[in-house]
Amino acid sequence: MKGQLVIEAKNLTKRFGKQLVFKDVNFKINDGEFISLVGPNGSGKTTLVKIIMGMEKKTDGELLMDKSQTVGYVPQFRNVDLDYPLDIESFVRLNLKFTMNPKKRAENNVIIKQILEKTRLTHLRKRPLGLASGGEKQKAYLAQALLNDPQILILDESTASLDVEVKMQLMDLVQELNQKYNLTVIFITHDYDLTKKYTHRALFFENNTIKPISVDEISEAMFE
């Protein structure tokens, strides 16, 4: 439900061996929020997301999550080269669950069709992903992550290396999903303008801590 607590960190600490990433961190994320994670490279944004995803272990403290929520995650790096063989639709399909049941298969086809429409990829569905533009690739990653209808979406620097116009298109799309379907969005970025324009709130990573801040507190200095 909108406004309900979905993720809470209590004195969360992460180390890689001796190296401290963040210590005794406290924050809350609520259902339906559009929140950005900002801070310098190497400050632990991706690491936090991986802990949320269960791909990395926390060192200490607690990370509480509403178990009814599923998460779609668009990771920071992807290895799709020019030669990548699958077209956009087949790439998105990879995340479908296997079924031999003809009824379920038909349902899956409807789901694919809808997600391609939602992400404005219908006309591009037969294009090999390797030949797609940066923005089209990001939309395909987004579509794949949204396939199983998650309540939380995590975007790790999805707008990096995109042209301003394309960035805006992608963010407009994510904003639409956030508003229309009440999707909780966690958006990692180095982009001041996008943070100001689209997000409700931010978690600021610095000096081994994570500080929750409001949009008004977000300053350009945080992006240097």
Ligand X SMILES: Nc1ncnc2c1ncn2[C@@H]1O[C@H](COP(=O)(O)OP(=O)(O)O)[C@@H](O)[C@H]1O
Interacting residues toward ligand X by CB under 6 A: 16, 21, 41-47
Determine, following the binding rule CB under 8 A, whether residue 41 of this chain makes contact with other proteins. Answer: no
Q: Which two tokens stand for residue 219?
A: 């300053």
* Identity of the residue, 43 or 199, whose beta carbon is nearer to ligand X in the bound complex: 43
Q: What is the DSSP code string of 32-90? A: T-EEEEE--TTSSHHHHHHHHHTSS--SEEEEEE-TT--EEEE-S-----TT---BHHH
Selected binder of other proteins within 31, 33, 87, 191 (CB under 8 A): 87
- Please report which helix (H) or strand (E) contains residue 21, including its range: strand 19-30
* Identity of the residue, 43 or 144, whose beta carbon is nearer to ligand X in the bound complex: 43
Determine, following the binding rule CB under 8 A, whether residue 122 of this chain makes contact with other proteins. Answer: no
Determine, following the binding rule CB under 5 A, whether residue 46 of this chain makes contact with Mg ion. Answer: yes
The half-sphere exposure of 57 on its side-chain side, counting CA atoms within 13 A, is 4
Length of the chain: 224
CB of 46 to other proteins, least distance (A): 11
Report the site for other proteins in 129-168 (rule: CB under 8 A). Answer: 141, 144-145
* Identity of the residue, 79 or 101, whose beta carbon is nearer to Mg ion in the bound complex: 79
Separation between Cα atoms, residue 148 and residue 146, nearest integer Å: 6
Determine, following the binding rule CB under 8 A, whether residue 17 of this chain makes contact with other proteins. Answer: no
